[in-house]
Chain A
Amino acid sequence: RKEVEQDPGPFNVPEGATVAFNCTYSNSASQSFFWYRQDCRKEPKLLMSVYSSGNEDGRFTAQLNRASQYISLLIRDSKLSDSATYLCVVNKVTGGGNKLTFGTGTQLKVEL
């Protein structure tokens, strides 16, 4: 089983739609969770951290369900500029240090 699993998509949605991505992680001891965004042929950039109580940043809402070991990202009122690949990221528990494990990403395409 992969440490972090995501549906690769693509999710094709019209502008203005609400879209949600889920991600599951395998290690119940993981403590830190993030969503990164990666534009085509660019480097990943942090979109938002994910906190236990859930958190919101403008049109983006992140949720964490520790019991089921999944993380979600909700994007409301999608914009064309939201088109990107969204990477679910979890801290590595084994081996020490503050390493991260990246999911393979979910591709979002927002269309007119």
Chain B
Amino acid sequence: DGGITQSPKYLFRKEGQNVTLSCEQNLNHDAMYWYRQDPGQGLRLIYYSQIVNDFQKGDIAEGYSVSREKKESFPLTVTSAQKNPTAFYLCASSMTATGQGDNEQFFGPGTRLTVL
């Protein structure tokens, strides 16, 4: 079955530690995205990638980093510079990132990160 997988489902981190969230898709999509979800705030875009070896900052990129070495993988690292990292993180993909803007984004099941 085609889809997006995220691991782990739950992640606990001590303050000052970096942590990497995994996102893999087998939909053969070019574009991938990372969102952060906080209660009552909807989803906010952290980073996006339109193609392998290319990515751009979203609205709240500070304290995060990404890589896109393979088409199917788009890991997100939450660094110690992120002051309030506790949140639900969602990865998504779409066929392309450009065009008329009507390409559906498919979402993974999410990773809940808690900083202790």
Do A and B assemble together? no
Could you list which residues of chain B lie within 8 angstroms of chain A, going by C-beta atoms?
A: none
